[in-house]
Amino acid sequence: MPNSWSGSRLDLHIDLDAAGGRRSALESALRAAIHQGRLSAGLLLPSTRGLAQELGLSRGTVTAAYDQLVEEGYLTTRPGSGTTVADVPPGVPAPALTASTPATPRHDLRPGLPDVSAFPTRAWLASTRRVLTHARPEVFGAGDPQGRIELRNALTDYLGRTRGVITTPDRIVITSGYYQGLGLLADVLAAGGTSTAAVEDPGHDLFRDVVRRAGFTVLAMPVDAHGARIDALTQSTGAVFLTPSHQYPTGVPLHPGRRQTLCAWARSTGGLIVEDDYDGEYRYDRQPVGALQGVAPGQVVYCGTASKTLGPALRLAWMVLPPHLVGPVVRAKQEADLYTETLGQLILADLVTTHTYDRHVRAARLRYRRRRELLLNRMAAIPELTAHGVPAGLHALVTLPADWPTEHRLLTACGDHGLALRGLTDLHHDPVGRPQGLLIGFAAPSEHAYPAALDTLFAILASNRRSGALTGGSTAVSSTRPQPRQGLFV
C-alpha cells in the first residue's frame, strides 16, 4: 500500500507490500528506493518514531528494519545525528546512467558558451530585490505569451541603441531561448505554406535540424570570405536563416553588397530573412556590424538572446517580427508553453533599464578580448595553423593543414585529456571533402582555468602534428586581425 510521511523533515513516498510482514515490507521498500536512486547517499531519514506514526507501524518494527539495513550497509546511524542513507554497499549495482548523461569536461572550449563563473550575481540580486519590492500581485499569476511589457519596452530601447534594430514593443515576442523561438517561427512559416528554406553551409547543425523537422526542404548556401552566397537563392526559396553579423562558424560578416542583394531579394519575392544575432555584443578589432533588420525591418525577423551575455540557463531570448507574423507566433508560443517565466523577464528588464546590463557586457568584452589575445599568441608557436573570425565573437575557427592528423583524431585526443571543443566537419551539410578545422571557444573557462586549458590544447596539437607540416604551412597568425583565405569555405 502506498504511504507517505508529512510530519517529518522530508516528504517522501514509500510503497509497502501488504502481502508480506510489515518489517520485511519496510526493509524491501527502503532497499528498492535506494537501488532506484530515489533515496540518495547522505539523505537524512525520518526518526523511527516519526516514520512509525506516518506509516501506522509500531516504533519497534521501524527500529528493527533500520537496524537490519544498517547491518547490510544500506543505512548509517550516529547517536544524536539520526539515520542516513549510506553509499551503495559493495556488490550492489548502482542505478545505471543513461547513454544521454553528459560527461563534464575538465576544460570546456566549445564555441558559443560564455563564462558563467562571471555571472553578475550581485547585480542580479539587486535587480531581484527591486523587482520583488515593487511587484504587483498579478506578477505571480499567469503570464503574457508575448512576454512582459517591461522587458519588451527595455529591449526596444536597447536593441535600437546598440544594434540598430527598428522596432516597437508590440513587435517583440519573448521566448524560452533561441532554440524555442526558431522552432516556433519555423512551424508558423511551414503552416503558412513556406516549403523551402536556405541555411548557411557550414552552419549550426542543431538549428539546421530544427528547420528540417518543421518540414522544410533545406537549401545549402555556401559560405566564402564574404559570407553566405546569396546567389544560391532561388525564386522558390521562402525563408533564409543566417548569421549575417558574425557567421557561425567561420566568423565572416556578410559583405555590404550581399546584404543589399539579400534585402532586395526578400522585397521582390516576399521571402523572409531570419537573422540570428547570437553574439552581436562582442566586437574587438572592428566597428560593430549593425543588425540586418535595420535595413529591411519589414522583411527580417531579428533574433537575440541572453545566453551569450548572461548564461543559457536563463532561457531568455527575443524575436523582433514583421507585424504580420506577431499574432501567429504569439499563438504558437501560447500553445507551446503558455509563456516564458515572468520573474526572469522582469529582472532582465531592470538590468537593461539601469544600464547594469551594458556594464556587464563591456566588462565581458574586455575579458574575452584578453583571452582571445592569449589564444592567438599561443597559436604563433605553430605557424601552420590559421585562425578565422577572431575580430568578433566567442570562438576562433582554426583550419588544419592537409598533412596534419584528421580532425577526428585531434578531437579524440582532446577528449582523452578532458578537453571539449567542436570540429568543423559536422557543421557542413555534406562533410565529404570539406576543410577540416577546430572551433576553439575562449569564453567558457573561468579566468584562472583558461591558461591551463590552452596549455592542454597546445600540448595536444604540438604532439600530434606531423613533422612535414612546418615546411608548407600557411602564413603565421596575426595577433591583431587574422584574415580568412579567399574561398576557403566554398
The model's pLDDT over 5-32, given as tens digits with 9 standing for 90+, comes to 444 455 667 777 766 678 888 888 898 8
pLDDT (0 to 100) of residue 7: 44
% of the chain with per-residue pLDDT over 90: 68
Residue from 402, 396, 403, 404 nearest 379 by CA: 396
Lowest average pLDDT, out of 17-31, 56-70, 87-101, 111-125, goes to 87-101
- Summarised one tens digit per residue, pLDDT across range 113-172 is 999 999 999 999 999 999 999 999 999 999 999 999 999 999 999 999 999 999 999 999
Q: Work out the average pLDDT over 347-355.
A: 98
195 falls in which pLDDT band (50, 70, 90)?
A: very high
Q: How far apart are CA 317 and CA 229, in angstroms?
A: 28
CB-CB neighbours of 121 under 10 Å:
8
CB-CB contact of 149 with 155 (8 Å): no
Write the pLDDT tens digit of every residue in 240-271: 999 999 999 999 999 999 999 999 999 999 99
Return the DSSP state at 218: E
CA distances from 27 to 22, 23, 88, 219 (A): 9, 6, 15, 61
Average pLDDT of every residue of the chain: 88
Predicted local confidence at residue 232, as pLDDT: 94
Looking at per-residue pLDDT, the higher value among 107 and 467 belongs to: 107
pLDDT tens per residue across span 364-421: 999 999 999 999 999 999 988 999 999 999 999 999 998 899 999 999 999 999 999 9
pLDDT of residue 59: 87
- Between 57-61, 178-182, 233-237, 266-270, the lowest mean confidence (pLDDT) is in 57-61
| Confidence category of residue 490, pLDDT binned at 50, 70, 90 | very low
Q: What is the pLDDT of residue 11?
A: 61
SS3 377: helix
| DSSP states of 3-49 | EEE-SSSS-EEEE--TTS-HHHHHHHHHHHHHHTTSS-TTPBPPPHH
What value does the mean pLDDT take over residues 445-451?
A: 93
pLDDT at 200: 97
Residue-range domains of the chain with CATH: 2-85 (1.10.10.10), 118-357 (3.40.640.10), 359-470 (3.90.1150.10)
pLDDT at 434: 83
